[in-house]
Structure 1
Amino acid sequence: MNKTFLPKPLKGIITPMVTPLLDNNTLDIVGLERLINHVISGGVHGLFILGTTGESTSLPYALRDELVRRTCAMVDRKIPVLVGITDTAPSESLRLAEIAANEGADAVVAAPPYYFSMGQPELIEYYEYLADSINLPLYLYNMPSHTKIVIEPNTVHSLSKHRNIIGLKDSSANNVYLNSVINMMKDRPDFSLLVGPEELMAETVLLGGHGGVNGGANMFPSLYVQLYEAAFTGDLEKVKLLHSKVMTISSKLYKVGNFGSSYLKGLKAALSVLGICSDFIASPLSSFKIEEKEKIKKAIDDIQQIL
């Protein structure tokens, strides 16, 4: 296994980085460097590329490979880099994991394959196959809204026994599920439990989770780091204050328009307004039009007043 500098468990705010694009086949390289420098300067504890927020399944394989190479070079081991390798073809997941290892990434992240529905025994077999075949630590990624499959708590616990499976990112937005996992994993304090929805991050940390993989940390990384630290130290008054700001971001930026992709459209539009990177979104999705962009611009003005 390649040498990494991942703490066990990995704690804090891991930014699920958007993929800055100029068009469907071209990275916004200037925007990528600006975004990476922005989140690192905000104090985040890691970077996760090629996840849902990174539009991984919409990107050509050549572009995914380029993003891994450029990101690892730009980060230059300042913080851990996690690479999403989710795919319907295990061979493609393994190919990208090899690139990630060769380029200096610290871990990979995989959601279940999202076409055929899999039973829990099949899921265990699949993840053990991945973990046995790659040269980097592996995080499980529970994303049932996109994959149709829940990685059940018992399955998480079973897979945690594999030496190369070291954590879970849960994006189910299901508190009952996540609290069940946290309770079940008390015998594995080194197994990282991270939550995707930022609206649940502080609560998750207060209840024993290890941090968040929160999209808003692309825009305002220091706010999410401060909220994590307040939750980690049990400063409830500060948690209430900072959590309110995170909820304002969520309500003003992620719910513009009647789109299933409003979160991603809002996030990328906001990054464009902030002058960080292009707001181009890979097909089959598309960026906000002028009317929605104006709403995002107004929302950013309002949010900056309270930060």
Structure 2
Amino acid sequence: MNAPDFSSAADGPSTLFQDGNRLRGIVPPLITPLSARDELDHAGLERLIDHVINAGVSGVFILGTTGEAPSLSYRLRRELITETMRLVAQRVPVLVGVTDTAFVESVALARHAANAGADAAVLTTPYYFPAGQTELTAYVQKITPEIPLPLMLYNMPGLTKVWFEIETLRKLSDIDSIVGVKDSSGDLDYFGQLCKLREEVRNDWSILIGPEAMLPEAHRLGGDGGVAGGANAVPKFFVDCYQGLIDNDEAKTEVAIEAIRRFQDVYDVGKYASRHIKATKCAASLLGICSDLPADPFHRFFEPERERVAEVLRDLGVL
């Protein structure tokens, strides 16, 4: 199956995934800084982007789970894409989440991202009504010709209730514009199967791990890096860990992964499922990057929880 026509993109097609290139390294799934309901915090977004790029990340991913994409208006999503592209200014690749319950809205957002100059779109399984694997296969086959960007598939069964099963990915591997998979299942056996599938059918695919503390295990299985939410706050730990793995520097890797594991304590603050996003935004706020305001219906941490996050950051020596 032929790849889509990239001619609509503002600056022409991305070169990121051409000629067998793979995206490797740490790609933070950026939080979405908000100044009020449905209002983007432009200054906070600029500080956030500079914070992660200056730490050496390999790209940024907006409108993912950590970015609260399903809770944002379509207007705000488009504003975020446009502003992110302006602020990144081609320093690193930009991946844009386009998942929606409506087929046409995913396509429309992908086209806006392409026109803004994004490097790739990211698509998870449609949620709310769980799709069967036959339906999912047909869905991806139908939507890829409509998306004018390289497309990374996103396996997030914990929230979408549906897996990209390995045999489904095998069937989809003949679609040239699909350039890889981000796996947030937390199942290392599945991740290993993904890496083996790449060896068998698409050695140009990028395979990235979502659960950030699994970065060393994913690397040993053949992964290309991680999409680490904690890199919004402490990107250097993740960049150092990845570089240590690439260089086979066990000492550097161990220091970095130990810091990452200690940072994980912030995710134990709070009692609701939204605590992961709240904790990440709270950490960014404590570091002076942006406000900790989440999108509705969620609430920011109150002072006792905020102090627990601050204790973790102080223990790590970053606050």
Q: SS in structure 1 opposite 2:27?
A: strand
1:5 pairs with one of 15, 19, 26: 15
| 8 Å contact from structure 1 (residues 9, 189) kept in 2 | no
Q: CA deviation at 1:192?
A: 0.5
1:272 pairs with one of 285, 292, 300: 285
2:85 pairs with one of 64, 72, 78: 72
Question: Hey, what's the Cα distance between the residues in 1 that align with 2:150 and 2:16?
Answer: 9
RMSD of the TM alignment (CA)? 1.3
Aligned residues: 305
| 8 Å contact from structure 1 (residues 206, 232) kept in 2 | no
Question: Hey, what's the Cα distance between the residues in 1 that align with 2:267 and 2:246?
Answer: 26
Question: Hey, what's the Cα distance between the residues in 2 that align with 1:219 and 1:160?
Answer: 35
Which residue matches 2:173? 160
The answer to whether 1:195 aligns with 2:240 is no
| 8 Å contact from structure 2 (residues 198, 204) kept in 1 | no
The answer to whether 1:209 aligns with 2:223 is yes
Q: SS in structure 2 opposite 1:15?
A: coil
Which residues of structure 2 form unaligned runs of 5+? 1-5, 7-11
| 8 Å contact from structure 1 (residues 160, 166) kept in 2 | no
Structure 1 segment 11-30 matched on structure 2, within 5 A: 11-30=24-43
Question: Hey, what's the Cα distance between the residues in 1 that align with 2:85 and 2:63?
Answer: 13
| Length-normalised TM-score, structure 1 | 0.96
Q: CA deviation at 1:129?
A: 1.4
Which residue matches 2:9? none
Q: CA deviation at 1:24?
A: 1.8
Q: CA deviation at 1:180?
A: 1.4
| 8 Å contact from structure 1 (residues 25, 60) kept in 2 | yes
| 8 Å contact from structure 1 (residues 22, 278) kept in 2 | yes
Q: Map Cα deviations across residues 237-257 of structure 1 (whole Å, 9 max, x no partner).
A: 332221111100012x11112
Question: Hey, what's the Cα distance between the residues in 1 that align with 2:255 and 2:203?
Answer: 29
| 8 Å contact from structure 1 (residues 157, 185) kept in 2 | no
Q: SS in structure 2 opposite 1:139?
A: strand
| Length-normalised TM-score, structure 2 | 0.93
The answer to whether 1:94 aligns with 2:89 is no
1:171 pairs with one of 160, 163, 184: 184
| 8 Å contact from structure 1 (residues 120, 155) kept in 2 | yes
Q: SS in structure 2 opposite 1:259?
A: coil
Q: CA deviation at 1:9?
A: 1.3
Question: Hey, what's the Cα distance between the residues in 2 that align with 1:263 and 1:183?
Answer: 30
Q: CA deviation at 1:229?
A: 1.3
| 8 Å contact from structure 1 (residues 114, 147) kept in 2 | yes
Give identity over the alignment, percent: 44
Letter in 2 for 1:239: T
Letter in 2 for 1:238: K
Structure 1 segment 220-299 matched on structure 2, within 5 A: 220-251=234-265, 253-299=266-312
